[in-house]
Amino acid sequence: MAPGEINDSDRWAAETEAHMTDEERVSLLHGVMNLPFPGFDMSSMPADAVPGAGYVHGVPRLGVPSLRETDASLGVTNPDGVRPNDTATAFPSSLALAASFDPTLARRVGEVLGREAKQRGFNVLLGGGVNLARDPRNGRNFEYLSEDPLLSGVMAGEEVAGTQSQGVISTVKHFSLNSLETNRLTANAVLDLKTHRESDLLAFEIAIERGQPGAVMGAYNRVNGEPCCGSDTLLNKVLKGAWKFPGWVMSDWGAVGGWEFALNGLDQQSGSQLDRRVWFDGPLKDALRDGGLPRDRLSDMVRRILRSMHAVGLTAPAPPHAHGGRAVVVPEEGDALALEVARSGIVLLKNDGLLPLDSKIVSLAVIGGRARTGVLSGGGSAQTMPPGGWTASIPVGGEGPMASLRVERWFGSTPVRELTLAVQNASIEYDPGAYPEDAEALARRCDAAIVFAARHEMEGFDIPNITLPYGKDEVIARVAKANPNTIVVLETGNPVAMPWLDSVKAVIAAWYPGQKGAQAIAEIIAGKVNPSGRLPMTFPKQASDSPRPELPGLGARQWTPTTITYPEGADAGYRWYARKGIAPLFPFGHGLSYTMFARSGLKVSGGDTIRASFTVANTGAREGSDAAQLYLTSINGSPEKRLIAFKRVTLGPGESTKVEVEADPRLLAHYHPDAQQWSIAGGSYAVALAADAADAGIAGEAKVDARKFGA
């Protein structure tokens, strides 16, 4: 259906809203955080309220269900274990999912998230996270997909579609430019609309078109001085105006500053105990009475919510098993899918011939990273408790509202156990890596050493730079000196600086690899699985190579007003490094395999957009998956760098396949806010079929027509 067209959901929403009292209307426009809170009595909640991130009263007499909201992108969360014994599939980081470059995998993850949410009685999932991973220090990048609008938009859109296919509304967030966590409530992101439309907003636009989420969540921060949850520009003009988004905008929890946010496009106040007032209750009613809030706008707010409920199937009679489930459901399906995402999204960054380990390696030192405890997960509202619970929870501490959640949580099973199973001919000894001397001594007497390096990252906090904490660099350097066969496995939510890179043989980026992560890591090291992940973020040599040499707000007291500027503009990630001529440590799109791929036969045609066909062949000796990447490299001779299409292919040894791709024309265009149009300059467009963003690849060229389109 074209945006703006009237359908059954609109009709149902309009009719239902017309039968409501104002009291009922307003009751749909604000929710509570349904968790134990000082001054909030959970026992007063209606019987259908499932403890979790949010609850909004329904209107039962009109068949309008309550909204029962849960976080989010990496699994159905259970904050503080508020639902006793309820665990859920804990997926790897979204960065790992995006590293698969596999939209079908994103859809399947979305489906499992939707099913597991529904099993517990939730009908709104507060994910996925679409913000571009612009800064390698953002504590929440593990919840986001990538630095690229196309990859992020496509993967998020598929995830949303998967969730909603299960009858659960999905919410894309945090709209927009929540690119850092430091002082997120007082941060002002300064970026002009043209640039914003070509970057973060384009990721949201693609995700929304593809997935048609029922809801969008506004961000905590401001953009150009306007609070995102009360931004006329972002909500009224872009989201609802230009894109004709028919669903509703909910606030982030504690991000509403007044009832007037309703005039600027906010439809619902979430987690209202976290705000100074329940603005979207009494004050909104007063505004209606005084004429400040037009009645049409009140109807519009309500209808948007009703429309999404109907469109996603929340108003259809529920099947008998659908609601109220509190059972410990450990679907094997979730376990298998978490494993598949880890296997597909772990990136082999470097391999000087050591991996997969061969049978000559009979003694293995495993060092650090609590590899006998589990694998690390990212923290904050996305923290998911996997089946069997956490193997360790270690408080980290700190200041501010999120400090109590600052706890390292580790998932089993453990790398040591999984390596024992996967590398059966080797004996394994473990050293915690606390003292470089001990680690070095163990490494010296083994055939190979694997150092696990984990860095805890989470919502509410950024990391000040991208080095490894707790003296880990020294441990790696000493181990590498003692043993030429050293492998480093990173468990982080962001890129890592690697001063020891030249002295180690192999490096694996495992992200936060989820509940089956240790198995996937061990299988890749042993060669049972052929690695296929490709970096969804550039790994710079050091954080100061990134657009902001220093973290904005570093060291300032909590809630100090902080301005974030974006010298990279729309050139987030690899485009910044290309523009500046800064060589990254590992480029976007990079990832090694145990087989080899040859790309050939590039044919490019132009016209209204760029279409390309080419062949990918597996020229090695084992099955593997490649992510073919097509980049725009110049327009009329002026250099550009932009991923315009990608395709993951899985091929047996000697097999080849023909791939056809088409570029979204917005990726060839610039946006003109005054004309509210995209425009393609027209002329000669050069492209490269490449292994990654820094690879010259195979060149092609096409004539693209000048044209204007869109809104």
- Interface contacts to ligand BGC, rule CB under 6 A: 53, 71-72, 126, 173, 252-253, 381
- We find the least distance from the C-beta atom of residue 101 to ligand BGC, in angstroms, to be 25
- We find the least distance from the C-beta atom of residue 75 to ligand BGC, in angstroms, to be 13
- We find the least distance from the C-beta atom of residue 610 to ligand BGC, in angstroms, to be 36
Residue closer to ligand BGC by CB (options 173, 505) is 173
Q: Measuring CA to CA, which residue among 396, 343, 276 is closest to residue 650?
A: 343
- We find the least distance from the C-beta atom of residue 209 to ligand BGC, in angstroms, to be 22
Angstrom CA distances, 183 to 186, 188, 396, 402, stand at: 5, 9, 19, 11
- We find the least distance from the C-beta atom of residue 662 to ligand BGC, in angstroms, to be 33
For 342, phi then psi, to 5°, come to -65, -45
* C-alpha–C-alpha distance, residues 515 and 337, integer Å: 10
For 79, phi then psi, to 5°, come to -55, 130
Q: List strand residue ranges (DSSP E) for 51-206, in order.
A: 54-56, 67-70, 124-125, 169-175, 187-190
Structure-token match 């973060």, residue found = 200
Residue closer to ligand BGC by CB (options 216, 687) is 216
For 376, phi then psi, to 5°, come to -80, 155
Structure-token match 């039968």, residue found = 19
Q: Measuring CA to CA, which residue among 449, 274, 427 is closest to residue 366?
A: 449
- We find the least distance from the C-beta atom of residue 404 to ligand BGC, in angstroms, to be 13
Q: Measuring CA to CA, which residue among 527, 444, 512 is closest to residue 478?
A: 444
- We find the least distance from the C-beta atom of residue 194 to ligand BGC, in angstroms, to be 27
Task: Catalytic residue, from 102, 135, 200, 252: name it.
Answer: 252
Residue closer to ligand BGC by CB (options 124, 535) is 124
* C-alpha–C-alpha distance, residues 245 and 268, integer Å: 15
Active site residue 252: yes
The tokens for 364 are 């293995």
The one-character DSSP state at 193 is H
In sign, the C-alpha dihedral spanning 247, 248, 249, 253 is negative
Residue closer to ligand BGC by CB (options 379, 547) is 379
Residue closer to ligand BGC by CB (options 252, 440) is 252
Angstrom CA distances, 239 to 405, 440, 557, stand at: 32, 56, 34
8 A C-beta contact, residue 515 and residue 387: yes
Beta-ladder partners of 687: 632, 700
Residue closer to ligand BGC by CB (options 458, 645) is 458
Residue closer to ligand BGC by CB (options 278, 480) is 278
The one-character DSSP state at 198 is T
In sign, the C-alpha dihedral spanning 473, 476, 480, 482 is positive
List the end-to-end C-alpha distance of the chain, in Å, as a whole number.
17
8 A C-beta contact, residue 207 and residue 685: no
- We find the least distance from the C-beta atom of residue 184 to ligand BGC, in angstroms, to be 8
Q: Residue 326: is it exposed, middle or buried by C-beta count within 10 angstroms (0-12/13-18/19+)? A: middle
8 A C-beta contact, residue 155 and residue 649: no
Residue closer to ligand BGC by CB (options 97, 509) is 97
Q: Residue 511: is it exposed, middle or buried by C-beta count within 10 angstroms (0-12/13-18/19+)? A: buried
Angstrom CA distances, 667 to 551, 633, 679, stand at: 29, 12, 10
Residue closer to ligand BGC by CB (options 90, 628) is 90
- We find the least distance from the C-beta atom of residue 392 to ligand BGC, in angstroms, to be 23
Query: Could you give the residue numbers annotated as active site?
Result: 252
